Amino acid sequence: MSDPDAIDNSTMDAGVEEEIHACLDLAQPRSFFLYAGAGSGKTRSLVNALKEVQTSSRKQLVLAGRGVAVITYTNNACEEIKQRLDFDPLVEVSTIHSLAWSLIGGYHADIRKWLRENIKQKLIELEAAAAKGRLGTKAAEDRQRSIAIGKKRLGRLDSIKRFVYSPTGDNRTRDSLNHSEVIGIAADFLKGKPLLQNILVSKYPIIFIDESQDTNKNLMDAFLAIQQAQKDRFCLGLFGDTMQRIYADGKVGLEKAIPADWATPVKKLNYRCPHRIIQLINRVRSAADGQMQQGPKDSVQGFVRFFILPNNMADVADVEEQFATKMAEVTGDSGWLKGEFKTLILEHHMAARRLGFDAMFTPLYAIERLRTSLLDGSLSSLRLFSEEVLPVVEAFRSDNAFRVAEITRKHSPLLRPEALSAAGSNQLIQIQKTKAAVVELAKLWNNDAHPSFQLVLDTLAATKLFVIPDALAIFLSQADMDETGDQRAEDKAVDDKEEDETSKIDIELEGWREFLATPFDQIKAYADYVAGKSPFGTHQGVKGLEFQRVKVVVSDEEARGFTFSYEKLFGAKAKSASDIRNEESGDETTIDRTRRLFYVTCSRAMESLAIVAYSEKPDAVRNSVVGEGWFTAEEVEVLTD
């Protein structure tokens, strides 16, 4: 393929930051959306814009008691930006959850009213589902327990004077809000309370949102509405790339929602990838938005290879090892032989299956409302198991009494200050009670047993060792938990007949029930995975990161997903009727979602890229990707055995 960078293009993006800086005049602010593709230095542009504000507007902002707010997606991103700005107090850098709570934290009466209406609505939905459902099934019992818990929470709202919330905590106390509630409340308050809008704009006349394409759609709509209402005194700066939207709750079609009077600078240089990989990702996204990148003139050429295997290939781990040898031969780079490459999995079911936590993962991933928090590790009901139960059991079984004490002091309600105070002179008894609870929990693993999450949950309820979230409290004290697997399967078959009539709440309850029946031991692999400690990276975990050598593994059969299809993207499978309808109406299709994931993973490579794809029709995939100009015939290899 020809090199598009024969001329010096080092000044291609020279005017981008000047265009952004011109938007930051407090007397005449202008909002903007910076399109910054992979490897273009988006964070650098964000930091440089903040430094411009520090230089040009510090005195004016400080005298008025105002500042600049920056919303990032992760705590790590927050720390990186703070460090680059030398922790300047003029700039408030926080995650979206932290900023949301800072806005609504003082409105306790309004929060109570919002919760009351929200709980009432959920109760209406539950009772409607109960009226339609079949009596005597587990689904019916789950609904009744959910109704009871909802009514209990509704009844105690008036006794809560102040609500609490921690962006990094589990928020399980009676007076706490969960993550989704804080986002929902903040979005509704920002839309419906002009006073709160004025407070926000008065405090922060400039707000930057990093990874804006993945910011919760309801909050993004609220910010866009505020900008339109306050455009003469408010600058909203969005940084991101719609091709890299990877979370389901991000705003679909954000680029179409940008008002015509905004600035829309575009960064076209990719400083990360070599020329050949830039050519590939340009072709991948060409059907999506037409945004093209180039590499600096002095970038290396780089290498890409596309290996295709049949779906029925046995011993995939052994088979995939040979590609490292092939890549070493192609590139002359011994790093491939030394295992110095990153393997990226394009769909979470693939990683779950390969790492051994697919049984616990699959039923929860099917619940759309939980999907984002499941993937980023913030789901409090799972953190009970991963951050409290797992470490305390591991510490106890390794005779680490100090670690056991540390965990229980931090998490157990038995050792909370109020519990110890209530015990008075009997505090030693309370400590002994905690130790006994840990012993009882650890017994579940005696004789090499592998307890289920349900058995662990029942033990926690009996010992009161840790606080159980409402989402799991529904499933406690059930006499039928000892029924045979056949009976559970029979009940599920009955419930499946009701599927068309069940609500999303029914689906969520069933998902939690299926999860609780799976082995607890899978939580370790899951926890390592979401923490980025597993051998595999995914599109969520690696966005913004870069690696010299990247191997991408693609398999629809392993992924078992219905929202993505690499067979469709690679031309081996026809579009479905729903894809065609969505395409005609301008809505997102399966191919759109898959294209974005493929773009994100391929664009991590700094030197060489190997793609390993499993397909029902290897020859069709080869013909399609070569015909589309993604790869040359020499770069594609089909293996049949």
Residue ranges for the known binding site are 36-43
More confident of the two residues 179 and 101: 101
Residue 227: band (very low, low, confident or very high) from pLDDT cuts 50, 70, 90: very high
Helix pair angle (179-192, 217-229), 10° resolution? 20
Is the pLDDT at 493 greater than 80? The verdict is no
160 burial level (CB within 10 Å; 0-12, 13-18, 19+): middle
Lowest-confidence segment of 142-146, 592-596, 618-622 by average pLDDT: 142-146
DSSP 641: -
Classified as helix, coil or strand, 419 is helix
DSSP string, 597-632: HHHHHHTTEEEEEEEEEEES-HHHHHHHHHHTTSS-
What is the chain's Cα-based Rg? 27
Nearest to 269 by CA among 244, 243, 303, 292: 292
Question: Over pLDDT 70: what percentage of the chain?
Answer: 91
Residue 317: band (very low, low, confident or very high) from pLDDT cuts 50, 70, 90: low
Domains of the chain: which residue ranges? 18-104+181-267, 106-163, 275-346+539-638, 362-482+498-513
Is the pLDDT at 78 greater than 50? The verdict is yes
Specify whether domain 275-346+539-638 bears CATH 3.30.160.
Answer: no
125 burial level (CB within 10 Å; 0-12, 13-18, 19+): middle
Q: Measured in Å, how far apart are the chain's first and last C-alpha atoms?
A: 30
Q: Class for domain 18-104+181-267, per CATH? A: alpha beta
Measured between alpha carbons, how far is 53 from 207 in angstroms, rounded to an integer? 11
Q: Which residue type occupies 243?
A: M
Averaged pLDDT, 516-536:
89
Contacts of 68 (CB under 8 A, 6+ apart): 50, 53, 61, 90, 91, 92, 204, 205, 206, 207, 208
State pLDDT tens for residues 397-421: 999 999 999 999 999 999 888 888 8
Question: CATH topology of 18-104+181-267 equal to that of 275-346+539-638?
Answer: yes
Is the pLDDT at 316 greater than 70? The verdict is no
pLDDT at 335: 95
Backbone torsions φ then ψ of 497, nearest 5 degrees: -65, -25
∠ Cα 260 257 592 (to 5°): 125
DSSP 195: H
Structure tokens at 297: 């003139």
Whether the CB-CB separation of 448 and 397 falls below 8 Å is answered with no
Residue 638 bridge partners (DSSP): 308
Q: Which residues of 572-603 are buried (b: 16+ CB within 10 A; e: fewer)?
A: bbeeeeebeebeeeeeebbbbbbbbbbbbbbb
Measured between alpha carbons, how far is 437 from 440 in angstroms, rounded to an integer? 5
Is the pLDDT at 594 greater than 60? The verdict is yes
pLDDT at 578: 85
Residue ranges for the known binding site for ATP are 36-43
Measured between alpha carbons, how far is 237 from 32 in angstroms, rounded to an integer? 5
pLDDT at 506: 72
State pLDDT tens for residues 256-305: 899 999 999 999 999 999 999 999 999 999 988 888 999 998 889 999 99
Is the pLDDT at 4 greater than 60? The verdict is no
Mean pLDDT of all residues belonging to the chain:
87
State pLDDT tens for residues 426-485: 788 889 999 999 999 999 999 999 999 999 999 999 999 999 988 898 888 643 333 323
Classified as helix, coil or strand, 404 is helix
271 burial level (CB within 10 Å; 0-12, 13-18, 19+): middle
Residue 479 CA: distances (Å) to CA of 138, 191, 459, 484: 12, 46, 14, 12
pLDDT at 463: 94
Whether the CB-CB separation of 198 and 103 falls below 8 Å is answered with no
pLDDT at 484: 29
